[in-house]
Structure 1
Amino acid sequence: MFRKIATFIHEVKAELRKASWPWDNDPKAKGFQKYKELVDSTIVVLVAMILLAGYVSLFDVISTKLLGLLTSIGQ
């Protein structure tokens, strides 16, 4: 059992070394510049979420008004 756990941990470490990490490995890069790709990706995700929230909210308001109009016509 311990051998399987050790093998698993070794394989996980090997796969993590292959991964592309979103920060600069250059030792000269300091502070904000080191994490530029990570920050840029985070900003893209936040903007996409805000746009999607706006679209869904607008669709919700339009649907609510339309259904209110249709139900008031039937009374």
Structure 2
Amino acid sequence: MFSKISRFLGEVKNELRKASWPWESDPKIKGFRKYRELVDSTVVVLIATVLLAGFVSLWDIIHTQVIFFLTKLGR
């Protein structure tokens, strides 16, 4: 069992070495500039998430009000 886990982790490590990581590999670049692409991508995802949450919330409020209005008409 441990040999399977060890082999699996070794394969994962090899695959991660092949991956393209979203930061600079230049050793001269230090600090946040090294992670510029990562930070930019994270900001885009956060903005998109907030916009989507707002859109869904707006439609939820609209549909709730429409259903409330329609059920009030039926009384």
Specify the TM-score bucket, using the shorter chain as the normaliser. 0.7 to 0.9
Aligned residues: 75
Q: Give, as a single letter, the amino acid of the residue that structure 1 aligns with 2:48.
A: A
TM-score (norm 1): 0.88
Name the CA distance, whole Å, in 1 between partners of 2:51 and 2:3: 49
Name the CA distance, whole Å, in 1 between partners of 2:9 and 2:69: 61
Name the CA distance, whole Å, in 2 between partners of 1:6 and 1:23: 28
TM superposition shift of 1:25: 0.9
TM superposition shift of 1:2: 4.4
TM-score (norm 2): 0.88
Gaps of at least 5 residues in structure 1 are none
Partner of residue 7, structure 2 = 7
CA RMSD of aligned residues (A): 1.3
TM superposition shift of 1:32: 1.1
TM superposition shift of 1:6: 3.5
Gaps of at least 5 residues in structure 2 are none
Tell whether 2:36 aligns with 1:36. yes
**Identity in percent:** 64
